[in-house]
Every structure is written in C-alpha cells, then in structure tokens.
Amino acid sequence: MVPNCYMASRTISGLLGFLLYFIYFDLVFSGTVQKEGSTCTVRASTDASDDAPAILQAFEMCGTDGAIQLHDPLYHIESVMNTTGLSNVQIDLTGTMLWGTNLTYWRSSGLPLDYLNATIAWVIGGDQVQFEGHGVGTFDGNGQLWYILANGVSNFPGRPINLVIANSTNSTYSGIRFVQSQYWTMVVKNSQDILLENIYVNSTSNSSVPARNTDGVNTFFSDKITFKNWTVTNGDDCIALKANSSNILIQDAVFHGGLGVAIGSIGQLNGVFEFIQNVTAERVLAIKSRYAGYVKTWTGVQQGFPPNGESVSLLAPIEL
C-alpha cells in the first residue's frame, strides 16, 4: 500500500507542474506588458496570437501621465481596440501592427463610428496624446483581402476604418506609415487642435480587383486640424473634409493617383445641416490624380442609407 503522504506529495507535485506548464507557455507565447515607473512596454506574442489584449492593458496602466512602447518587430491585432480617455501620454511605435484575416469577425465586431454607418478597428482619443512612429511604425490592415471581398463595391458593409482619432484635443500623430488599409485609413472626429505630420499612406491593390474607398483621412465635427507632409497613394480621396470641419490646414502633401483633396461630401442626411469652413491647402503636388482638389455635395435628396446610397456630386476642381 502506498502511503497517503506519498500520494499527497505526488498530487501536489503534479498540480504544481501543471500550473508551471501553463505559466511558462503564457510567458513564452502571449503578449505581455512590462511596466517600469510610468512606462509600459508591450512584448509581442511569439506564436502570432492576439496582441490586442496586452496593448489594451498597457493603455489601461500607462494611459495617463505615462508612456507606451511598441518596439517589437510585429504585433498581431486580432480584435478591436478602444483606447479613449487618455491624458498626457506618449505612444512610441517602431514595429508593425498587422490586422488579422478573420474578416467575419471584423465585419461583425467593428466599433461604431456613430456616423454614416461606418465601423472602426481601433479608436484612440484623449488630451495631449503624442503618437510617434519615427517614420517606420506601421499599420498594416491586410487590405488586399478586403479589396477581394468587396470586389469593386465602394461601400461594402463592415469594412472597418483602421484608426479613428476621436474626442481628442491638443494631440500630435507623427511619422506613422499606413499600408493596405481595410477601408478609410483614418478619421478625425469630434476633435480640436490635432496635428498629423509626416504620414505615409499606401492602400493599393496588387491584383485586378480595385482598392475602392481607401481614403487617406476623413474629418468630421472637428476644428483646427493640421495635416503636414503627407504622402498618399490610394484609390479615392487622399484627404477628405466632411461634416462640420473647420479651420483645416494642409501643407506639403504629395498625392499619387486618387482624387486629391475633397471638400465634402456633405448633405447626405435628410434634415441635417452640415458645413465645411476655412480650409487652406498649400504646396500640394498631385501626380496622376483625377483632381488636385474638388468640392462635392449631395443634391438634398437622400438615396438609401449613407454611405451605401448613391449620390450626385457637384464636382468643382480646385487649383492648389
């Protein structure tokens, strides 16, 4: 007969080994956060699992009066991220954030933009947010899969906007690269005093299927927004100023293909007054673009549910 104390020892040893096994694999494979003082460094997973939970944890721990470092070569983003309510935070990205290929998930789980029936992959916002990409930090939306899925349909439902800056003030986004965005690359919404400089966008198809509605950036309900030194190659508006955008400055931009600077469109919703006011564009070079800039507005008759309804635009090219 085996002594009870021996059996108990074997049981405890087995449980400890089982627990250590899972701790080990969690440390090796799952994304983690290392916190030193007010700085959170996100270490990417080593098995291509979702790094979004670790990134969200870093923002929770260091999103106020802190710094968040994303310095590993590759982060896999497999779920939506909401990092709003930030205050006095420095975000440093030198690696690539690669959005996942589960299109069914993204189509059903995108965060609401609360305007034009659009959804979001990542929404970020707050006061004194400094996001630095150093010219190498990259958002890769895996857009080719979305272009194939949409198959030329401009407003294919469920394509998420890669990054939305919302409810933000006194913030700067600099040196970030965006490639193969799923839909619109960026949106600035309900924000004031935002500088976006040294931004690179390239959302083009590598097959016969076009990359439709891959706007570089759209603004809504925002004031004092500055775009400096943008390079955009895409299949739609390069920089578009939409509902209730005011005091917009665009300087030193280079556009390849696309439609240049779009003033609009506005007036898509019945009974809703919208305006665009005080837009300045300086030193804009448009290469093989349809327009350098143009104005577009709806006729006042809503057709379908925006943005999936059709519109008739007044196309007025602008000399920039």
User: Which structure tokens are listed for 126?
Assistant: 């707050």
Q: For position 168, what pLDDT does the model report?
A: 98
- Express each pLDDT in 280-297 by its tens digit: 999 999 999 999 999 988
What pLDDT digit, counting tens, does each position of 19-58 carry? 444 444 444 467 999 999 999 999 999 999 999 999 999 9
pLDDT, residue 319, reads: 46
CA separation for the pair 249, 223 (Å, rounded): 10
User: Which tokens is 218 given?
Assistant: 């759209």
Tokens of 280: 């300045």
pLDDT at 4: 52
Residues classed as catalytic: 236
Q: What pLDDT is recorded for position 313?
A: 41
Say if residue 27 is exposed, middle or buried (CB neighbours under 10 Å; 0-12, 13-18, 19+): exposed
Work out whether the CA dihedral 90, 194, 266, 204 comes out positive or negative.
Answer: negative
For the chain, list residues with pLDDT below 50.
Answer: 2, 5-28, 309-320
Q: What is the CATH architecture of 31-317? A: 3 Solenoid (2.160)
- Read off the pTM: 0.88
Which distant-in-sequence residues (6+ apart) come within 8 Å of 44 by Cβ? 31, 51, 54, 72, 73, 74, 75, 76, 95
* Cα–Cα distance, 211 to 147 (Å, whole number): 5
Could you tell me how far CA 130 lies from the centroid of its own chain? 15
Q: Mind listing the pLDDT tens digit for each residue in 157-189?
A: 899 999 999 999 999 999 999 999 999 999 999
